[in-house]
A and B are shown apart, each in its own frame.
Chain A
Amino acid sequence: MTPEVLLDYRPLWAVLISLIAAVLIMFHGKRPNLREAWTIMAAFGKAIIVFSMIPAVLAGKIPAIEPIHIAKGITLHLQADPTGMVFAVLASVLWILTSFYSIGYVRKLEEKHQTGYFASFAVCLSATMGIAFAGNLLTFFIFYEILTIATYPLVVHKRNKEAIDGGRKYLAYTLIAGQLLLIGIVWSYVLAGTGDFQPGGFLAGAAASDTVLKVIFFLMIVGTAVKAGVMPLHGWLPTAMVAPTPVSALLHAVAVVKAGAFGVVRIVGFVFGPELLGELGVAAILAGVAGFTIVCSSVIAMNQDNLKRRLAFSTIGQLSYVVLGAALLTPLSMIGAIFQIVAHAFMKITLFMVAGAIHATAHLDNVSQLDGIGRKMPFTMGAFTVGALGITGMPLIAGFIGKWNLALGALEAGKPIYVAILIISAMLSSAYLLPIVYKAFFKKPSLVSHHDSHGEGHHDHGEANKAMLIPLVMTAIISIVLGVYPNAGAHLYDFAVMAVQGIVSGQVIGGGW
């Protein structure tokens, strides 16, 4: 069954709206309220545009724009297929929440360069939409590179040596990865004569030796896996945590890293296709690397005292779930992978927002200083608890559904070792996240050290301000809602199933959540 393609310019508008907002933001740098109004309006506008496409996509249609010719034989093509919709819905919803949170955060901390900050943020979201809706490899690549560049000013936001070094490292990793991806894209274009994403892959019929295909796969996967933080290509991610927390939250839990993970899904499902990869046997290697990353990063996370760094390593591990799900090549594992993109985004953004709220309100960054903070910030730490439990894979929170499908997929693929890895990882993540919850609620605050490091006045804080608190509570609630009823609101689970059905060409998918 080939889905009907609708001529519809909404995917393009979804990309453009935040780009236009970025320009307006730049022009109104001197009037902060108007400037922030543009951000909020664009965020809501984008979400409305994306959500308005849900019924059509659910009905099996694909809204797509008339391809724009941008280079000889290659077009800029945007289409809202189910896979892209998952990512687009996710990013647009989270942008709204992060926008409010950002405003609260940067104003509380009186950050400098706010105009550039919000403008870059808007450009990042445009790029993310472009990545989600990209209909071919070149379009994907263009937005992928724009995302790299637009994130750079956010990473170096603080303008100090640490930030500049972090920015350098970030660029070194991502630009090199981008170039490798480019080689892979050009190569596959030369072989197949097209770059259009096709459910089930378009390289299967290409006249190329296995070795060539393996090399292309390697190039493309390295290109995307760097952003997805797969070890050993993860080095930039913890360093990039020098960025302000809302940036870490949206970009390092949602946009940038998920763009990488999403890219892996696209390449596995829409460029090569599970069948071809099964024959080549390279996916097994990728699965192995992902499994290694999951365990290894969790172990490293346990040793991090800085809360954001701990979360960064946790992100690295959780992202590899997505990669693992794609690499296992079974329908269920791929549903798990796509849903994990959603679930992890909501849970991890909650955790990051909490870290930022603690930083902005209590001026604490390290896990060891968090004793008793739950008494002062009960809602904040309550949200943290939900996120933490979700990451460990507790049922009734979104994370569980992705992991359940992943585990079933691993069994389906006949590789029970990955079930074991998932279980180990769940235990390890409990080990590095739950102690924080315990400290926050059950330990007495150690006032002495508090005084020493921060002087007067910082420990008589209360909850985080509303602009920060409400978004993070909402993401926590959404995590629970999606865990109970994964189709709530945007039919994200249905989209994941539809996407995978396309990839395996209508084959009946048994079981699953």
Chain B
Amino acid sequence: MMEQLPALLILIPLLTALASPLLSYLSGRLVRCTALAALLAAVFCAVGILTRVLSEGTWHYRFGGWEPPWGIEYAVDPLAGALAVLITFINFMALIYAKTEMEDATRTKKGVFYALFLLTTAGLLGMTVTGDVFNLYVFLEISSLSTYALIASGGKRAIFAAFRYLIIGTVGGTFYLLGVGYLYAVTGTLNMADMAVKIQPLLNTPAVIVAIASIVAGMGIKMALFPLHGWLPDAHTYAPTPISAIISGIMIKVPAYVIFRMLYFVIGAGEGPVQQALTVIGCIGAAGIIHGSIMAIAQKEFKRILAYSSMAQIGYVAVGLSIGNVYGLIGALFHVLNHAVMKSCLFMVAGAVKWRTGEYRIDKIMQVSKKLPLTMFAFLVAAFSMVGLPPTAGFFSKWYLVLGAFEAGKWPFIVVIILSGLLNAVYFFRIIENTFLRKKEGAEAEAEEKEIQTATGLELPLTMLVPILILGAGVLIIGVSNQQIISQVIQYALPGGGF
């Protein structure tokens, strides 16, 4: 059983996904419980895998016993293992949160929703643990297609957003496939480890250069790197909240992981075209940070602010990858973790505020902190982390990125990162002003105040409150224990083993 964990990690969500529509005919509650159980099992699988790879090194799992390069190999190193834990954990939180979102849905709709949710998870996990570049494409499409459908379930405008994402996303996937095709043509292998060896003499050939360009462009679209981010704001804004949380927290991180994997592990970031690709990624990442932050300031809707902010934050990861030294990469990976936790928390808060007040516009949610004290406290923590105030997690990603940029002598990045923190402060403190300080004006204040009661007498249903609080606390815990996380997990995830 333990030996099969990498397969189980994918198969449990995948098979449960297939069973979900069927189960939904029996009962809506049953399908939800099964889905939760499946994801919880996946969390345990991921944790089990991570513990093993941390103590024993990379885990090569051969599907069906076929030796690579003929068969498909899952190669789980600490990087992939850690990301798998993150994916399963955040998705599990989002799934708990999804209950109120799906309350009024018909049983069939529930079945489909949970099926798609699990498919997405399976796809993302597959992308993470696979050691085969084509297999990665298959999982990419699994997760993307199910995400399009999930986004579209958010209502009329969401359908447009999803369709737009579908077209752009498919182009991105195709670019990636094209790149893989070129690599296959010159190396004759799809296995990552095999390819890493065979590609070395070919680094400066046109085919490899085109392959790098295509892969970066394709994954750049999926991770919403500026200026390939057009799909992101609408998709984030109109998707159902738990879906926004996972797109922003996880979906855009996994392509970043793919870029990291391909450039640093498969092709090797020594010199030549990869360095140039990284420079480009860094520049557009930096541009994205500024663009995203400024656009976020211009928005009025809670989720839209967060959407643009996600686009800016993915730029941090890009910048970290581009800096390329130990501190820069630690910063990038640490930020993947941080941002996943804090942004999914923020999206859930936005959803909770909407649930309680019916409003997304931040100028209409005055003093919501009185109705939702715990929720808004979690919001504060996550927002401070986004701004990068110590001792929250966000400060430490900034710290490592700036440290890395200094060491590498890449000054513009320092300016951008610092500036971005301040721009974040502008839009987050605007939300804080509205939600905590400003009072409603006379008539407006009396007009509404329809009281929503929860069964437990708490400010929110437990299924919403618990994930928000866990993630909010997570931001602080990650910040305080960043030293442990880095020295025990992240540093083993770096190419060449870190320090």
Which B residues from 82 to 103 make CB contacts under 8 A with A?
none
Interface stretch among A138-146, A394-402, A467-475?
A138-146
Q: A159-B439, A164-B437, A183-B414 are in contact. Are A175 and B483 (CB under 8 A)?
A: no
Q: Are A186 and B384 in contact (CB under 8 A)?
A: no
Q: Are B390 and A164 in contact (CB under 8 A)?
A: no
CA distance A234 to B330 in the complex (A): 38
Chain B residues within an 8 Å CB radius of A186:
399, 402-403, 406, 414
Q: Are B429 and A70 in contact (CB under 8 A)?
A: no
CB distance from B391 to the nearest CB of A (A): 6
Q: Are A164 and B399 in contact (CB under 8 A)?
A: no
Q: Are A190 and B433 in contact (CB under 8 A)?
A: no
Chain B residues within an 8 Å CB radius of A187:
406
Q: Are A164 and B438 in contact (CB under 8 A)?
A: yes
Which A residues from 135 to 163 make CB contacts under 8 A with B?
138, 141-142, 145-146, 148-149, 156, 159, 163
Chain A residues within an 8 Å CB radius of B438:
159, 164
Q: Is A13 an interface residue (CB 8 A)?
A: no
Chain B residues within an 8 Å CB radius of A138:
399
Q: A69, A164, A189: which contacts B403 (Cβ < 8 A)?
A: A189
CA distance A69 to B480 in the complex (A): 9
Q: Are A141 and B418 in contact (CB under 8 A)?
A: no
Chain B residues within an 8 Å CB radius of A179:
418, 421-422
Q: B396, B414, B433: which contacts A71 (Cβ < 8 A)?
A: B396
Q: Is A30 an interface residue (CB 8 A)?
A: no
CA distance A186 to B327 in the complex (A): 12
> 1/0 per residue B456-499: CB within 8 Å of A?
00000000000000000000000010110011000000000001
* Closest residue of A by beta carbon distance from B486: A72
* Closest residue of B by beta carbon distance from A75: B483
Q: Is A24 an interface residue (CB 8 A)?
A: no
Interface residues on B, range: 20 to 34
> 1/0 per residue A156-177: CB within 8 Å of B?
1001000110011001000110
CB distance from A144 to the nearest CB of B (A): 9
Q: Are A71 and B425 in contact (CB under 8 A)?
A: no
CA distance A149 to B421 in the complex (A): 14
Which B residues from 357 to 385 make CB contacts under 8 A with A?
384
* Closest residue of B by beta carbon distance from A70: B483
Q: A72-B330, A182-B402, A186-B403 are in contact. Are A156 and B437 (CB under 8 A)?
A: yes
Interface centre among A148, A156, A163, A171 (most CB of B within 10 A): A171
Q: B327, B390, B439: which contacts A145 (Cβ < 8 A)?
A: B390
CA distance A179 to B418 in the complex (A): 6
Q: Are A149 and B384 in contact (CB under 8 A)?
A: yes
Q: Are B433 and A142 in contact (CB under 8 A)?
A: no
Chain A residues within an 8 Å CB radius of B414:
183, 186
Q: A159-B439, A164-B437 are in contact. Are A71 and B407 (CB under 8 A)?
A: no
Which A residues from 172 to 226 make CB contacts under 8 A with B?
175-176, 179-180, 182-183, 186-187, 189-190
CA distance A164 to B414 in the complex (A): 30
Q: Are B390 and A142 in contact (CB under 8 A)?
A: yes
CA distance A141 to B406 in the complex (A): 18
Q: Are A190 and B406 in contact (CB under 8 A)?
A: yes
CB distance from B139 to the nearest CB of A (A): 33
Q: A69-B483, A71-B482 are in contact. Are A175 and B437 (CB under 8 A)?
A: no
Chain A residues within an 8 Å CB radius of B406:
186-187, 190
Which B residues from 59 to 89 make CB contacts under 8 A with A?
none
CA distance A485 to B403 in the complex (A): 48
> 1/0 per residue B304-330: CB within 8 Å of A?
000000000000000000000001001
CB distance from B306 to the nearest CB of A (A): 20
Q: Is B389 an interface residue (CB 8 A)?
A: yes
Q: Are B429 and A171 in contact (CB under 8 A)?
A: yes
Q: Are B402 and A72 in contact (CB under 8 A)?
A: no
> 1/0 per residue A446-458: CB within 8 Å of B?
0000000000000
Complex A-B, nearest 6 residue pairs according to Cβ-Cβ distance, in ascending order: A142-B390, A190-B406, A69-B483, A179-B418, A186-B402, A145-B389
Contacts A/B (CB < 8 Å), 26 sampled: A69-B483, A70-B482, A71-B399, A71-B486, A72-B327, A72-B483, A142-B391, A142-B395, A145-B389, A145-B390, A146-B389, A146-B391, A159-B437, A159-B439, A163-B437, A164-B438, A167-B433, A167-B437, A171-B425, A175-B387, A179-B421, A180-B418, A182-B402, A182-B418, A183-B414, A190-B406
A residues within 8 Å of B by Cβ? 69-72, 138, 141-142, 145-146, 148-149, 156, 159, 163-164, 167-168, 171, 175-176, 179-180, 182-183, 186-187, 189-190
